Amino acid sequence: MAAATHAAAPQRDLKRFAWPIGYVAVILFLFFLYFQILPSLVKPVSAPVLAWLPVATINECLMWAIMALGLNVVVGYAGLLDLGYVAFWALGGYTAGWLMAFPFNWSWDFHLLSPVKATTPGTHINFWLVCIAAGILCSILGLFIGAPTLRLRGDYLALVTLGFGEVITQFFRNSGDIAGFNLANGDPGIGPIDPIGTGPLGAAGIAPPLLTNSAAGNVWKILVLGLLVGICIFVSLRIREGRLGRAWLALREDELAASMMGVPLVRVKLLAYAVGAFFGGIGGVANASAITTAVSPSGFDFGKSVLVLLMVVLGGMGNVWGVTIGAFLLSWLNSNGLKQIGVQIDSFAGTDLAASLPRYNYVILGLLLVLMMLFRREGLIPESRTKALMSMPSRTEAESLGADSLEAEAETDAVEHSDAKADAKIAHSADVMAGAASAPSPSPRREDES
Amino acid sequence: MATASLVVGGTQRKAKVRLGPLVERVLAYAVLAGILIWFVANLVANPDRFIGSLLVGLQNGLLYALVALGYTMVYGIVELINFAHGDLFMLTTIIAAGLMVSLLGVGQVTVVTILPLLLALVVCMAAGGFINMSAEFLAYRKLRSAPKLAPLMTAVGLSFIFRGIAQQEYVNGSAQKNWPITWGGPQVEGVFIYKLLMVVAVTVPLLLLMTWIVSRTKMGKAMRAVAQDQDGARLMGINVNGTISFVFGLGGALAGAAGVLYFLCQTQTYYDTGTQLGLIAFTSAVLGGIGNLTGAVVGGVAIGVVQAMNEGGAYGLGSDWSQSVVFAILIILMVFKPEGIFGRPTTEKV
């Protein structure tokens, strides 16, 4: 076994490192673009770039990418439609509000590796620890909403999650007085929330010690949020390859068949919720700490859930890269793009769209969702698996063509094809085994590949 | 050896969480008993408020029933939860407001306003039916053979479009809009009797009409046939597309009627009404057993009464928590009786 993996290693290793290198290159390029290149350029060159793609928008895009990757686990991988994903975003944000903000209710002071001054009152915990705490809290919440919906089919599930998203907002809206206890300050919300600290970099004077919403802070946030997105992408990709990921895909294609093949539905579904919620919690903390610097219930409406869902659908459900790009596109459109397009049209046509176009963002986003569903259901960058499924004629279509034979033919083709592949694999591994006959492990099967 | 590895794979695990039928039944009865005790406690503590809440509950419940019927019929025929239905209802409240207050100048609701009311009903029902049928024609029809997720997301997109339209300043704006409509006449425990009468007078005939259409007419027969088996119905010479269109139109018309009544009762319009009321109405439909018309009505009234009791009763949590209460009902229902009161448990076929 060890020998087999070693023999195949050189080829796989290069491929394995391809995307992290590319990703780090992109993030570093973005960082240096705003840190070094743009300020040194003349105004006519840098101004349009800054107008179309300000640093704050990049940060927002990165934050939304975390959310979209999280929802992608639930909707794209496991096929469980979640319309209340905003709940995790909200809970993550409020965790940040509880653990890294000036007190609104509690009288104790507590500091843990926090970048803010030690004399500041309130609870102040390090950003990364809060991320983990929020992730865990949200996972538990995810298990809680997952549990009663396990017996439901997809459409009921969507409604229960929608209801859950609505109720969590209501909960935080009423949280100023829960049986006389002020849990989360009700409608005004909690703020200001601590910015991200830079630790040693800040101490060395390279970066500002606190990444506030200033020009300098925003540039450095690209790196922090980029790292978070990178972790999310890594986890998404790795999980998909593993046993759990394949169980999710099976669940998505056909729940009944999956359970017949021995996929433990309860555990797999709950884990999908928990993992998706973990990402959502991190996204919530990132949003509260780096983007809005305050949390209030009015920010967590149904529209946000649909926005994230749209990112997943637009990019291509199940495809990590598609989803990331979908998140970038839509959050850019939502925060800056529509306005900028309006400005551009105005300068050509002399209209007044810059002010009115952003107001139509709900209509435009809804229209986009409907059109995507009608004309390109697989998304901009579809998963290879989905593409194959979509190109196959549906059963009724094939039957109406009077072509049971056609289906049979396709099946034989598939079997032969897969056989050829498997044969090659077996032959290859046989060669390897023959080459290393003294391999210590007699079993060529890895547990997760059986 | 082989069987042992299968167990690790999880084949012998149960696919669904079941606490055992007996425990489940006992728990379900406990929940029912709890609700009953809560009602009795409310009655004993403050009979006046109990009566008032009951009347408000009836009034709202009938409106919920109208909206729930739209959900339940569409679900019954194409197995789609029409998320946009609540927002369609919201649009009709805005149409009703514009028509009655801005165009016809209704201020005080009296006997004279029956004519504008009838006009608004006709217009809003037509508008609701038209919008719903167009949505079906433009969006859902092409997705009928697509995976379940696709029409569901289309519905979400449509609901987003409706909300976006309502949020425009020239339609309704992002804030709640209060309209100058006043009610007169006798009151019982703060409930305007004429309001209740109006709701009953409009809703009950509509519900009877609906039952008649579904159970007695040729179209109703076609609807039931299409709901059972679309291909079979097509082979029998039924116009499947036309029938489904008709059902969407019917649902939209009911939502339109509910929109007029809701606007007159609440005298305000808000772009988010659809999400909130849609959730309530859907819960009603599930409570009664989705696909079942009588069930939707019973469920709507039941939810209306529970919600009103929560808001106005002596032991209620207040209107701040009404969404949460409805949602709790939905969850409890999902756990104990997903098929609803009148529904039959379904088994999945391969």
Q: What is the pLDDT of residue A422?
A: 58
Q: Do B286 and A309 touch (CB under 8 A)?
A: no
| Residues from chain B contacting residue A362 (CB–CB below 8 Å) | 160-161, 163-164, 167
Beta pairing class for B191-192 and B177-178: unpaired
The boundaries of the domain holding residue B167 are 59-272
Q: Is the pLDDT of residue A21 over 50?
A: yes
For chain A, the helix, strand and coil percentages under 3-state DSSP, each to the nearest 5: 70, 5, 25
pLDDT tens digit string along B232-270? Answer: 999 999 999 999 999 999 999 999 999 999 998 888 899
Q: Residue A353 contacts by C-beta under 8 Å, 6 or more apart in sequence? A: A341, A342, A343, A345, A346
Q: Do B157 and A302 touch (CB under 8 A)?
A: no
Position B321 confidence tier, pLDDT thresholds 50, 70, 90 = confident
Q: What is the pLDDT of residue B192?
A: 84
Phi, psi for residue A197 in degrees, rounded to 5: -95, 155
Residues 69-88 of B with CB under 8 A from A: 79-81, 83
Q: Do A171 and B159 touch (CB under 8 A)?
A: no
Tokens standing for residue A156: 């009921």
The answer to whether B166 and B90 are in contact (CB under 8 A) is yes
Q: Residue B162 contacts by C-beta under 8 Å, 6 or more apart in sequence? A: A366, B84, B87, B88, B90, B91, B274
- As a whole number, mean pLDDT of residues A205-212 equals 80
Residues 151-190 of B with CB under 8 A from A: 151-154, 156-165, 167-169
Q: State the smallest CA–CA distance between residue B72 and chain A in angstroms.
A: 13
In a domain, B268, yes or no: yes
Tokens standing for residue B330: 């939905």
* SS3 at position A285: helix
Position B162 confidence tier, pLDDT thresholds 50, 70, 90 = very high
CA distance B93 to B261: 8
Q: Mark B118-141 as b/e (b = at least 16 C-beta within 10 Å).
A: eebbebbbebbbebbbebbeebbb
| Residues from chain B contacting residue A316 (CB–CB below 8 Å) | none
Q: State the smallest CA–CA distance between residue A35 and chain B in angstroms.
A: 38
At CA A15, angle to CA A11 and CA A18, rounded to 5? 145
CA distance B192 to B186: 6
Phi, psi for residue B245 in degrees, rounded to 5: -55, -45
A173–B contact, CB cutoff 8 A: yes
CA distance between the termini of chain B: 30
Query: Which of A152, A306, A309 is closest, CB to CB, to B334?
Result: A152
Beta pairing class for B177-178 and B268-269: antiparallel
Position A420 confidence tier, pLDDT thresholds 50, 70, 90 = low
Q: Residue A100 contacts by C-beta under 8 Å, 6 or more apart in sequence? A: A114, A123, A124, A125, A127, A130, A193, A194, A289
| Residues from chain A contacting residue B156 (CB–CB below 8 Å) | 83, 306, 309, 369
Q: Do A263 and B10 touch (CB under 8 A)?
A: yes
A267–B contact, CB cutoff 8 A: yes
In a domain, B16, yes or no: no
Beta bridge partners of A238: none
Q: Which of A1-10, A351-360, A393-402, B42-51 has the lowest mean pLDDT?
A: A1-10
Beta bridge partners of A110: A123
CA distance A54 to A46: 11
B19–A contact, CB cutoff 8 A: no
DSSP E strands in A189-267: the ranges are 196-197, 210-211
% chain B with pLDDT above 90:
31
Q: What is the pLDDT of residue B173?
A: 83
Q: What is the pLDDT of residue B128?
A: 95
Q: Where are the domains of chain A?
A: 20-302
B276–A contact, CB cutoff 8 A: yes
CA distance A414 to A410: 6
B142–A contact, CB cutoff 8 A: yes
DSSP A330-390: HHHIIIIIHHHHHHHHHHHH---HHHHGGGGHHHHHHHHHHHHHHH-TT-SS--HHHHHHH
A258–B contact, CB cutoff 8 A: no
Q: Do B279 and A166 touch (CB under 8 A)?
A: yes
Between A194 and B127, name the one with better pLDDT. B127
Sign for the CA dihedral angle at B169, B171, B177, B178 comes to positive
| Residues from chain A contacting residue B80 (CB–CB below 8 Å) | 155
Q: What is the pLDDT of residue A229?
A: 95
Phi, psi for residue A249 in degrees, rounded to 5: -65, -40
At CA B144, angle to CA B141 and CA B145, rounded to 5? 140
| Residues from chain A contacting residue B79 (CB–CB below 8 Å) | 155
Q: Is the pLDDT of residue B2 over 80?
A: no
Our count of domains for chain B comes to: 1
Q: Do B156 and A155 touch (CB under 8 A)?
A: no
The answer to whether B62 and B307 are in contact (CB under 8 A) is no
Q: Residue A113 contacts by C-beta under 8 Å, 6 or more apart in sequence? A: A125, A126, A129
| Residues from chain A contacting residue B150 (CB–CB below 8 Å) | 373, 377
Q: What is the pLDDT of residue B6?
A: 25
* SS3 at position B209: helix
CA-closest candidate to residue B28, choices B347, B345, B341: B341
> Measuring CA to CA, how many Å separate B77 from each of A314, B84, B230, B303?
29, 16, 9, 24
Q: Tell which of A82, A149, A155, A383 to mutate to test the B interface (max B CBs under 10 Å).
A: A155
Q: Which of A16-20, A62-66, B132-136, B297-301 has the lowest mean pLDDT?
A: A16-20
Helix axes A215-241, A243-253, angle to 10 degrees: 80
Centre a 10 Å sphere on the Cβ of residue A213 and count the other Cβ atoms it contains. Answer: 14
CA distance B338 to B333: 6
CA distance A89 to A34: 28
pLDDT tens digit string along B285-308? Answer: 888 887 788 888 899 999 999 888
Q: What is the pLDDT of residue A446?
A: 44
- As a whole number, mean pLDDT of residues B22-28 equals 80
CA A14 to chain centroid, in Å, comes to: 25
Q: By CA distance, what is A261's nearest residue in B? A: B11
Q: Is the pLDDT of residue A104 over 60?
A: yes
In a domain, B118, yes or no: yes
In a domain, B331, yes or no: no
A242–B contact, CB cutoff 8 A: no
Q: Residue B57 contacts by C-beta under 8 Å, 6 or more apart in sequence? A: B301, B304, B305, B306, B307, B308, B309
Q: Do B81 and A160 touch (CB under 8 A)?
A: no
Q: Tell which of A374, A443, A450 to mutate to test the B interface (max B CBs under 10 Å).
A: A374
A333–B contact, CB cutoff 8 A: no
CA-closest candidate to residue A198, choices A169, A179, A219: A219
CA distance B115 to B300: 28
The ipTM (two decimal places) reads 0.83
Q: Which of A197-201, A444-448, B41-45, B334-338 has the lowest mean pLDDT?
A: A444-448
Between A261 and B187, name the one with better pLDDT. A261
Amino acid present at B27: L
Position A393 confidence tier, pLDDT thresholds 50, 70, 90 = low
- As a whole number, mean pLDDT of residues A14-39 equals 86
- As a whole number, mean pLDDT of residues B184-200 equals 83
% chain A with pLDDT above 90:
24
Tokens standing for residue B158: 């449509």
A235–B contact, CB cutoff 8 A: no
Q: What is the pLDDT of residue A423?
A: 61
Task: Kindly state the helix (H) or strand (E) to which residue A194 belongs, with its residue range.
Answer: none
* SS3 at position A99: helix
Q: What is the pLDDT of residue A85?
A: 92
For chain B, the helix, strand and coil percentages under 3-state DSSP, each to the nearest 5: 75, 5, 25
Q: By CA distance, what is B157's nearest residue in A? A: A366
Centre a 10 Å sphere on the Cβ of residue B314 and count the other Cβ atoms it contains. Answer: 16
| Residues from chain A contacting residue B148 (CB–CB below 8 Å) | 154-155
Q: Is the pLDDT of residue A259 over 90?
A: no
Burial class (CB in 10 A: 0-12, 13-18, 19+), B336: middle
Q: By CA distance, what is B75's nearest residue in A? A: A155
| Residues from chain B contacting residue A162 (CB–CB below 8 Å) | 83, 275, 279
In a domain, B144, yes or no: yes
Tokens standing for residue B167: 């949020």
Q: What is the pLDDT of residue A416?
A: 55
Between B7 and A154, name the one with better pLDDT. A154
Q: Is the pLDDT of residue A337 over 70?
A: yes
CA distance B73 to B126: 18
Position A391 confidence tier, pLDDT thresholds 50, 70, 90 = low
Q: What is the pLDDT of residue A326?
A: 92
Q: By CA distance, what is A145's nearest residue in B? A: B331
The mean pLDDT value of chain A amounts to: 81
